[in-house]
Chain A
């Protein structure tokens, strides 16, 4: 019986190895400099790359951060420093619910509030959709990190005659900054790979960046489109794109883990 348990754990690791293994093998095979530096070619033409889509992903991450990080961080500060216990549990509950909403529903929502009224798919609406996804993640990790700062620090700051808000900004937040930063990085790793919301907001684009109010391509979206297409050439590019994406996502996750381990010691 216990042997089965070990087998089960081993299975999980095996699957991981299989998936990563395939991606690395296929991805590296088709990855070349052209891939990173060229734009996509029309159907039928060989070659081309995902330069625009990689750029698109970066732009969307920046947009989502601009909208989502302030909201998430301030909400986290509210939960940890200023909320009464009742208000805190209510808001925390709502944040956890929001975190559990499927990303496709977030996409439909962003479509309804931005794409419809604006009559156009846009990078901006995609940024908003992704921001909605990162807000609860950042809020909860920020709150947890701030709570870890011992109360003696708050008392010591108060006893110096520092006002509450300056103590929070000048003493408490710096004390929690590692946790806050790793929370942000995890949120970014999450949205880098999100595709569903982009279907309804960014749409994808054959051209490069045309402005915030126009459709934009993104890496995961392009991987999806290419994978579902009938062209083997595009399938190869999908693998290469997956390799780039997974390097980004796993790279951030490993970095986060390394930072938290260092800090603990």
Chain B
């Protein structure tokens, strides 16, 4: 599927559709849109409205707006959410860098280099695409525990530098194959080494796929709950996702405003990617079947 196929507006199939039908379709879609967005808007409103109003109204318009809940939620646990956000950002950024570097190196070898056993390794790489992480979970845990990495970010970050995410390798292989080989050859005649071809020809031409892979790596890492759940014990090391879980468990004190305020904050980075890279995300999904 090409990206033009996605971007191209489709010509209307039935030009003579009656205005009544049009109105009905729009009405249906608008109702569906409201239903889809209602939970999100309600949460935003819950974060902004007075505490006692949260569970007493279904309206998504607060009677008055205050950011007080954000302050309360920010300091709602023993450790401030500033720490959790810092941790999440550090882990996510390190993972993006590692995943892009390691997967593009691997993909370059599979897409462009010729070496003994290539097809064999490539088939093995594809074979791990569907391997559920639970299968490697326990030995990995033992390994990282023996290395003394439990309760550090290392078990979450280091695997990304070893290209364990076959999906992104596959994505990049597909893209690299579409780049004309003449460019590599011209560069080689000009005296470029193999690494220079990778670094100076392939990577600059692969900005779209690198951006897509980078954004999705960021979102997957940012949202990751299972990894932090098993590897991070000390609250000072918690990510935002773990902190939200602790917040839910401690809402016996029922600061729901604070809980929703922090939930909204947790969604903001993803929402920003949605706002600014929506087209890229949608193309990425349409062409590759990325899960989200």
Q: Do A and B make up one complex?
A: no
Residues of chain A whose beta carbon lies under 8 Å from any beta carbon of chain B: none
